[in-house]
Amino acid sequence: MSKRDLKKYLAELNKEQLEEQIIELYEKFSPVKVYYNFVFNPKEESLLQECKLKISHEYFPIKKSGRRSKPKMRRSVAQKYIKHFIVLGVDPFVIADVMLYNVEIAQTFSSENAVKQDLFFKSMFNSFEQAVIFLIANGILSEFKARILAIHNQTIVQKWYNEPEFNAIIERFEY
């Protein structure tokens, strides 16, 4: 069914029928329920804190016994939250905060632990690049410029092999 056909179908329904369909969608499909729960009670701050906690556990996991387990360092966890936040229509400042936090926590981890996988560095570069693109697209780059420069500075301090790639992005918006 095309969007046009859907609009035509919905126009034929009365208010009660529309309400019934929306309630049925709400009960049947979890994403619809999540969306409406967010729309009517947007607890962005609690969502942000939960998200940051999950991302930090990827790098600094703690078992229930109190001992640390091996870090998984999965970029996909942050990406899943970022995509979810975009779908929900969360404030771009919150999304940008998560995007940069993902790179910052990874840098904190790499400053304390030797990381040998090239994929880690490539992945963090991709996250950084996506964050900068998002910031520019939403017109909020200036509000996050200090954090972006701090991330780049850490790539220099930690001697990341792909620091020139980070630098190339910085140079694009500085001139």
Distance from C-alpha of 118 to C-alpha of 120, rounded to nearest angstrom:
5
Going residue by residue through the chain (175 aa), what tens digit of pLDDT does each one get? 888 988 888 888 899 998 898 889 888 988 888 778 777 777 778 888 888 989 998 888 876 666 667 788 888 888 998 998 888 888 999 999 999 999 999 999 999 998 888 999 999 999 999 999 999 999 999 999 999 999 999 999 999 999 999 999 999 876 4
- Is residue 85 located within the same domain as residue 35? no
- Is residue 37 located within the same domain as residue 48? no
- Is residue 120 located within the same domain as residue 36? no
- Is residue 19 located within the same domain as residue 81? no
- Is residue 61 located within the same domain as residue 141? yes
Could you tell me if residue 114 is left (phi over 0), alpha (psi between -120 and 50 degrees) or otherwise beta?
A: beta
Spatial neighbors of 91 by CB under 8 A, at least 6 apart, are 44
Domain total of the chain: 2
- Is residue 135 located within the same domain as residue 83? yes
- Is residue 92 located within the same domain as residue 124? yes
- Is residue 61 located within the same domain as residue 26? no
- Is residue 80 located within the same domain as residue 152? yes
Specify the long-range contacts of residues 111-117, CB closer than 8 Å, at least 24 apart: 111/154, 111/157, 111/158, 113/71, 115/73
- Is residue 56 located within the same domain as residue 9? no
- Is residue 28 located within the same domain as residue 88? no
CA distances for 170 relative to 29, 57, 101, angstroms: 42, 29, 18
- Is residue 128 located within the same domain as residue 166? yes
**Structural domain for 118, as ranges:** 43-174
